[in-house]
């Protein structure tokens, strides 16, 4: 067993990259440009935080790593689809993603739309065509959980709330509601699907893991807002940074940077406390938690 977190993370990131590379359609298959765009949107970038959470949760339930790889890839495909659609002119209208032109800039809007749709379908195809859990009921539940996390009661619903909130003042509970859905639901699915690949957890353990996943989903977003605010301030100066923050409510625009940092630390402690009763196998989840909180990008 690899004990060092960085080695472990690198090996899991490489594993997911190889798997996705093999499972994404080749660029010489018709329709070539759509397949090229799918590969462009998924491969060669991204921290692979959600797969790391799936692998870490899989270690908790002693899951077979091959099974977890498929589940983690499905979650990452949904994440990649959400980024492609989020960047479209009708949403955030971004031109850069992971330091490269966004999918609709590199190809065109119609191709970007179809790329997101096709990545989403491929995610569910992977979950349906591989044996991932000890019983068919558990596997069906994994498919249901990913569908719910991505849909109107999860990520897409959170995105709708986000779009409707531009220019408005949100209360802290409203901001939390938005992020529990927009970012948190998929992060929670990454944790739970990884765990479901292994031996079943009892109800108490599942509740603890669910609580862990909810805290870490929110913490991820709080840190994302802090990093965004720091980058904006560094690039544009303090005043311009504040103007930029005002356009969309964020944890930093509502709480200020130091209270946002305190909130991230509180969520980190809550997340780790939820792991206390889950034993030594939760070590990887603790390490991924620290990685999420301490990341610099
Ligand atoms: C379009 C249905 C639909 C949903 C979009 C999750 C989401 C909803 C949009 C993503 C936009 C965004 C930048 C949200 C902030 C938090 C977040 C998800 C950041 C990107 O995730 P990382 O940091 O990205 O894991 P990498 O590039 O590392 O994979």
Please, what is the end-to-end C-alpha distance for the chain in angstroms?
28
CA angle 145, 67, 211 (to 5 degrees): 40
The predicted pLDDT at position 60 comes to: 95
Tokens in use for 183? Answer: 């970012």
Does domain 5-294 correspond to CATH entry 3.30.420.40? no
Atom of ligand 1 nearest to the CA of 156: 2
Q: What is the pLDDT of residues 237-289, one digit of tens each?
A: 654 444 444 478 899 999 999 999 999 999 999 999 999 989 999 999 999 99
Best residue among 86, 99, 184 to mutate for probing ligand 1's pocket (most ligand atoms within 8 Å of CB) is: 86
Residue 230 confidence (pLDDT): 92
For tokens 């009921």, the residue is 137
Candidates 290, 33, 16; CA nearest to 126 is 16
Give the Å distance between the CA of 1 and the centre of ligand 1: 31
- Residue owning the nearest CA to atom 29 of ligand 1: 46
- d(Cα 261, Cα 256) in Å, to the nearest integer? 9
Residue 232: CB partners within 8 Å, gap ≥ 6?
A: 240, 241, 244, 245
Closest-CA residue, ligand 1 atom 4, reads: 82
CA-closest candidate to residue 189, choices 214, 208, 207: 214
What's the pLDDT tens digit per position in 158-202?
999 999 998 888 999 999 999 999 999 999 999 999 999 998 889
The predicted complex's ipTM stands at 0.94
What is the model's pLDDT at position 248? 80
Q: Which helix (H) or strand (E) holds 101?
A: strand 100-101
Rounded to two decimals, what is the model's pTM? 0.94
State the closest ligand 1 atom to the C-alpha of 220, by its place in the atom list counted from 1: 16
Of 297, 295, 287, 296, nearest in space to 5 by CA: 287
């Amino acid at each position: 067993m690899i004990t060092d977190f960085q080695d472990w993370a690198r090996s899991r990131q490489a594993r997911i990259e190889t798997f996705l590379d093999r499972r994404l359609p080749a660029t010489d298959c018709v329709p070539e440009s759509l397949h090229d765009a799918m590969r462009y949107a998924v491969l060669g970038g991204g921290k692979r935080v959600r797969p790391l959470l799936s692998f870490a949760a899989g270690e908790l339930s002693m899951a077979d790593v091959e099974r977890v790889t498929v589940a983690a890839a499905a979650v990452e495909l949904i994440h990649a689809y959400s980024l492609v659609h989020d960047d479209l002119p009708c949403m955030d209208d971004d031109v850069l993603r992971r330091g490269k032109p966004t999918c609709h800039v590199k190809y065109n809007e119609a191709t970007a739309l179809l790329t997101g749709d096709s990545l989403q379908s491929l995610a569910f195809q992977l979950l349906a065509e591989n044996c991932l859990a000890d019983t068919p009921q558990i596997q069906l539940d994994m498919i249901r959980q990913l569908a719910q996390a991505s849909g109107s009661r999860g990520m897409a619903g959170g995105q709708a709330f986000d779009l409707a909130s531009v220019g408005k003042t949100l209360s802290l509970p409203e901001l939390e509601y938005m992020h529990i859905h927009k970012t948190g639901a998929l992060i929670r699915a990454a944790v739970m699907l990884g765990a479901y690949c292994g031996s079943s957890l009892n109800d108490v353990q599942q509740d603890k893991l669910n609580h862990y996943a909810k805290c870490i989903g929110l913490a991820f977003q709080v840190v994302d807002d802090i990093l965004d605010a720091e980058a904006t301030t560094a690039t544009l100066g303090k005043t311009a940074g504040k103007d930029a923050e005002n356009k969309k409510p964020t944890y930093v625009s509502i709480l200020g940077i130091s209270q946002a940092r305190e909130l991230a630390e509180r969520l980190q402690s809550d997340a780790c406390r939820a792991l206390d009763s889950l034993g030594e196998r939760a070590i990887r989840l603790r390490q991924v938690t620290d990685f999420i909180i301490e990341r610099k990008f």
